[in-house]
Amino acid sequence: MKIAPSLNSLNSYTARDATSVASDACQVGVAESQAVEGRKLPLDPHRLRDVTFIGVGSSTAFLLNELNGRQDAHSDELPFWGKVTIIGEQDAWHPSVRGAGYINHQHEIIDQWGDRAPHFDPDYADRATFSAGNDAQIERAARLGAERINENITSVQRLDDGNYRITLGSGNVVDSKQVVLGIGAGPHTSVWGDSDNKTRAEQSFSNITIALEHKAALRNEGRVLDLDEFMRAADAKPERFKGKTIAVHGPNAGIDAVERAGELGAKVEWLVRSTRPVLLDGNQLKYAPDSAKNALRKVDTLSISRNDDGRIALSCRAPGTDEATRETLIYQARRSSLTQPRTL
């Protein structure tokens, strides 16, 4: 998360501070929060917001929890009205994105705080429950007057006057004095783009290539999956993976896939580029630690093709490795941690 410069000034805003002007049906981000009882004043879509949050996952929710708690819960004022905007489509931890299951952290470490710290629970946090807690903080901010825009963004630009201009996927823009980025700890990458349309992150970080003549078949058959696709597929048809050999590419975000593959009765081969899965330290997982000890190997490059029998052939370039045949590849489409939302 990155915060520019200070949010302390949000401590005592009231609804009467907001600039209200007539606007048409094309205004940016007509939010549910603007329909709060008794506060249906139209807002200028081109106004300069005080702060805009990009991302609707845990990092945004943790900060909003703090800001929400500073407000008078018994006041009929809307302290965030016209001042605060929240942009984002879906929390990365929602089951519709990452699938069902748990997060590899206990509740007392990652749950939202209320009047007191979360209760101790030795079990790992349920993914849906954790995501619902994030949503609750964003909805709470909306009830305090924050504007909610359910879109993605394409760019953030710093203007000559020191303010920021955020371009939405729709082409509309949002101007803001401050921007809080809660969009992830690393770049989002995909293996499906060709050399002409890869993002800068994909050009710099991706070490996976797929044979051009096999791309369509591998994608249509669902044999090469990103992490979220695999977790959803494992929820929908867990029997599909039992007894299969699965290669997982990526260290820390790969932990979830390795653990799930083990639970499904698959044989796992774990490929990493340079970094070992450091987030395994001190965990309570059953399968991933053993895979890290016995099935982990480093590869500089990874080439994917399809054999005549339909199985995946992986050609790994690193000392002591060569071509191998596998059933399924799961690649790390994003670098994931609890300080960030969203994926592809």
What distance in Å separates the CA atoms of residue 191 and residue 212, rounded to the nearest whole number? 11
- Express each pLDDT in 179-225 by its tens digit: 999 987 666 677 776 666 677 766 666 788 888 898 888 888 888 89
Residue 13 has, within 13 A of its CA and on its CB side, a CA count of 23
Of the candidate ranges 159-173, 207-221, 278-292, 313-327, the one whose mean pLDDT is the lowest = 313-327
Helices (H), 57-106: 58-69, 95-98
CB 259 within 8 A of CB 292: no
pLDDT tens string 149-181: 999 999 999 999 999 999 999 999 999 999 999
C-alpha distance from residue 185 to each of 3, 41, 86, 90, 236 (Å): 14, 37, 19, 16, 28
User: Average per-residue pLDDT in the chain?
Assistant: 80
DSSP 8-state symbol, 112: P
The first and second tokens of residue 243, run together, are 């007894």
Which tokens go with 116? 């007191």
Q: If you ran DSSP here, which 8-state letter would residue 274 be given?
A: S
Residues 6 or more apart in contact with residue 264 via CB below 8 angstroms: 234, 238, 241, 242
Set out the domains of the chain in order of their start, with CATH numbers. Answer: 2-181 (3.50.50), 200-331 (3.50.50.60)
**Which residues does 203 contact at the CB level (< 8 Å), separation at least 6?**
none
The one-character DSSP state at 180 is: E
pLDDT, mean of residues 79-106: 89
Beta partners for 124?
106
CB atoms within 10 A of CB 4: 15
- Residues 95 and 219: their CA atoms lie apart, in Å, by 22
In which band, very low, low, confident or very high, does the pLDDT at 122 lie, cut at 50, 70 and 90? confident
Q: What is residue 10's predicted lDDT score, i.e. its pLDDT? A: 59
